[in-house]
Structure 1
C-alpha cells in the first residue's frame, strides 16, 4: 500500500480524492483540518478517518508515506515546515510558498532531513504533456523557437462563483482565490511543462495589473492579469499570459522551424496533440489546413479521470509519482529544485506590476526524466 495523510479538507481536496479512487493501492491514513465541521463533512462523504490534530496526524503517518498539504496557499509554508520538522515527506498544492525565502527554506530543510518535498501541478506527468514533450525531443516541428501559452479563464468576477461547491459540499474559496491571484494559481500548469522541455528560465520580462478589483468581494486582491516573456537558457522564448478576465483560452503553441505543435486545453490529461506543417504554395507561406494528431505507442499510460466541472485532470499523478520514488529509492520527477524554479518564475510574473521590467532568475533545476511509457512517439 502507498500511504497518504491529508491536511486540508477544502474544495481542492475533493479533486484529489476523486483521483485517488483510481488507485486501489493508495490508502488514506486520515484527514486533519482546523475547521472540524469541514473535516467531518469531507470524511463522512469519502468514508475517511478524521484526525483531531496535526500531531496526531504525524503519528498516524508512515515513514514511507507522504503528507498532502491542501491548505490555503498562505498556509503552505507553515504547514509544510511543520510536516518536515516532524520527519515526513510533503507533497504540497501550489505554490510551494508565497515568498521565495520561504520556498528556499522548505527545500533546504527537506534536504537537511533527508526528506522529499514537491509541489503541484503534476500535469507534466499526463499523457498530453508527455506526448508534446516526445514531439519536441524528436524534432517533429524542427527547432522550437517560440512558445505561446494562454491561461485565460473568462471574466470570473462576474461568474456565479458563490454557487460553486465540491463533491463533499465545500464552497469554492473565492475570497482566497482573488487574494492569491490567477497567476500563482494557474501559471504553473504550463511552466511545469515548459521547464522540463526547454530547461531553466534565465530572464523574465513581465507586467501585471489588477483590472477588476472593485468587482470582487475580497478585501485585498492580487493581479488578475499578467503577461511575461520567458527567456530560456536554451534559447527558446515563451510568452505566457494569465487572466481571469479574457475569454477562456488554454491554447499552447510551440512554433518551430518546420511547423507548429499545439493543444487546445491543458486541464484535460488526454487532450489531442496536433501538428501543422509549414510549407509554401506558389508565393504564399502556409500552415497545413489539416492537423496531424501525434500519439504515443498504444498501451498503458496512466489512469484517466472523467470530466467534472472545469477540469479532467488526474490530481493523483504527482503524489503517486512521489510515493513510488520513495518506495523505489529513485529521484522524483517532481523534484524540489523544479518546484523552486516554478515558484520563482511564477512570483516574477505575479509581482511584476507596471515598472519592474527584467528579472534574472536565481534558481536552476536538474533535468527531468520523461515517463517510461513516453520515450518516443508512435
Structure 2
C-alpha cells in the first residue's frame, strides 16, 4: 500500500475552492491521490495533532502545514474543512468548524451518537452552512450507470436487494506492515475497536438511499464473532465484526445488508426486480462492471454454457461466475493517468468535496449533506448497535 515516489500538489483552476484537511492519517492519502481529478478544489493546508505525522504528510505532498487547528479554522482562504480525524473526534471538529463559519465535509460517520449528528446538522442550518458526509462512492460512475438502468426499467420495478460489505479476514493478514503512500500506518487496532459496521456499512447505505430513497425501518443484529484479532488487541474492547440488517425503504423496496471481517471479500449489490436482476460487482469501484440477467438482456452465453456444464458434471465448479450480461457504460472511461487508488478500492474520495463546493457556489444543498447525512448516520448507528426495531428520522 505504499507509493513509489513523492507527489506534487495537484494543479487547480483560478477559481478553485480552498480546502483544509484536518487529520493526515491513512485515509488522507486517498483524498490527496484523487484531489488531482478536481481542479475546482485547492488544498490550502493540513493539520494533525501528531506533529511528526503532519510533517511527513506535508513533506510528501508538498502541502502547507498549519501549526494549530485554530490556524486552519481562521484562515480566510479556506472555505471547506475536510474532517479526516478518527470517528471519536468527528463531532467536536464538525462543531468547531461550523462555529468558525466553514462548510464541512466529514468522513463517516458524522458522529458516534445520533443526537450529536443531529446537533451538528442543526448548527449548519442555523449558520447557513453545508455539512456533508462521506462516503463518495455513491457519486461514482457505477452508481449513475445503475440508476439510469433502473429508471429506464431494465429490470422492472425493484423489489428486493442484497448488499454485501464483507472485507475478508483482515485480522489474519499482515496488517501491521500496511502503509499509506506517505507512510501512515493502517490503524488496524482502532478499526477493530470501532467495528466493521461503522467502517463499511455507509458504502452500501449511501447507494441504497440514492437508488431507493429514505429508509423507513431498520431491524439489525451485530456481534463480535472473533474476539482474538492478534497481537495488540488482547485486552481491548473490540467492536462488531459481523452485522446484518433488514432495511425497509419508504418506497417499498426491502434490502438486506451484511458487513463483516471474516467472510471472503464481497462488495457486491444485487437488485431483484419484477422482470430481471441487476448486479453491481464492486461498490468500491468507480466503474464497476454492472450485470443484468433476465428482462431484455437475458442470460449471457458464457453463463448458460457454464450452467449446462455443471448440470452435465453433476456438481458446482469451484469458482463464482456473476450472472447476466455486462452492460457497457454510455461513455468510455476518461483517457489519461488514473488518479484513483490502485488498491483496495477505486473510489474517487475527493468527489464528495467537489460536489459540496459546486453546491456551495450555487446556493444549494447537495444530496450527501444535511438531513440526508443525518438519516444515513442514524441507519449505520442502528446497524452497528444491532437494534431490532428502529425508525430513523426522515430527510
Q: Under a length normalisation based on structure 2, what TM-score does the superposition of the two structures give?
A: 0.85
Q: Distance in 2 between matches of 1:203 and 1:149?
A: 16
SS in 1 for 2:270: strand
Aligned residue for 2:383? 349
Match of 1:58 in 2: 73
SS at match of 2:81: strand
**CA-CA distance at 1:261 after TM superposition:** 0.4
| 1:120 counterpart (100, 124, 134) | 134
- Given the alignment of the two structures, is residue 320 of structure 1 paired with residue 359 of structure 2, yes or no? no
Shift of 1:294: 2.7
Question: Hey, what does 1:371 align to over in structure 2?
Answer: none
Are 1:234 and 2:282 counterparts? no
Per-residue deviation, 1:226: 0.1
Distance 2:295 2:144 in 1: 23
Conserved? CA contact 2:130–2:365, under 8 Å = no
Could you tell me which of 256, 263, 281 is aligned with 1:264? 281
Q: CA deviation at 1:61?
A: 4.2
Distance 1:17 1:254 in 2: 33
1:79 & 1:106 partners in 2: Cα distance? 10
Would the alpha carbon gap of residues 159 and 18 (structure 1) be closer, same or farther in structure 2, given more than 3 Å must change?
same
Match of 2:330 in 1: 297
CA distance in 1, matches of 2:276, 2:122: 42
Measure how far apart 1:299 and its partner are: 6.7
Aligned-pair CA distance for 1:307: 4.5
For residue 45 of structure 1, what is the aligned residue in structure 2?
60
Is this contact kept in 2: 1:189–1:266, CA < 8 A? yes
Name the stretch that deviates more: 252-261 or 133-142. 133-142
* More strand per residue: 1
CA contact (8 A) 2:30 2:341 kept: no
Structure 1 residue runs of 5 or longer lacking an equivalent are 282-286, 366-378
| 2:20 aligned counterpart, secondary structure | strand
CA contact 1:5–1:61 (8 Å) conserved in 2: no
Instruction: Please give the alpha-carbon distance, in whole angstroms, between the structure 2 residues aligned to 1:211 and 1:42.
Output: 36
Superimposed CA distance per residue, residues 96-133 of structure 1 (whole angstroms, 9 cap, x where no aligned partner): 11110100000001111111001100111110011111
Alignment partners' CA distance in 2, 1:300 and 1:249: 24
Distance change in 2, residues 1:320/1:58 (3 Å): same
Runs of 4+ in 1 over 3 A off after TM superposition: 287-290, 299-307
Gaps of 5+ in 2: 1-15, 305-322
CA shift, 1:302, in A, is 11
Distance 1:195 1:302 in 2: 31
Give the equivalent residue in structure 2 for 1:372.
none
Match of 2:308 in 1: none
Map 1:1-378; keep pairs closer than 5 Å.
Answer: 1-62=16-77, 65-216=79-230, 217-218=232-233, 219-277=236-294, 289=304, 291-298=324-331, 305-352=339-386, 356-361=387-392, 363-365=393-395
Report SS of the residue matched to 1:360: coil
Partner of 1:369: none
Query: Is the CA contact (8 Å cut-off) linking 2:33 and 2:340 kept in structure 1?
Result: no
* Structure 1: distance between partners of 2:335 and 2:46: 26
Between the aligned partners of 2:107 and 2:360, the Cα distance in structure 1 is 19
Count of aligned pairs between the two proteins:
354
- SS of residue in 2 equivalent to 1:90: strand
CA distance in 1, matches of 2:53, 2:73: 20
Task: For residue 225 of structure 1, report the CA deviation from its aligned partner.
Answer: 0.3
Q: Is the 8 A contact 2:136 2:347 kept in 1?
A: no
Match of 2:365, SS state, is coil
Q: Is the 8 A contact 1:131 1:294 kept in 2?
A: no
- Cα distance in 1 for residues equivalent to 2:130 and 2:67: 25
Tell me, what secondary structure is at the counterpart of 1:146?
strand
* Structure 1 counterpart SS, 2:390: strand
Q: CA offsets per residue over residues 22-60 of structure 1, 9 Å max, x none?
A: 233421111111001000100000000000111111222
Name the SS for the 1:19 alignment partner.
helix
What is the aligned-residue RMSD (CA, Å)?
2.0
SS of residue in 1 equivalent to 2:394: coil
Alpha carbons of 1:272 and 1:264: their partners in 2 closer, same or farther (altered >3 Å)? same
Q: Distance in 1 between matches of 2:274 and 2:339?
A: 35
- Change in Cα spacing, 1:224 to 1:300, as seen in structure 2 (3 Å) is closer
Are the counterparts in 2 of residues 305 and 313 from structure 1 also a CA contact under 8 Å? Answer: no
* Conservation of the 8 A alpha-carbon contact between 1:61 and 1:67: no
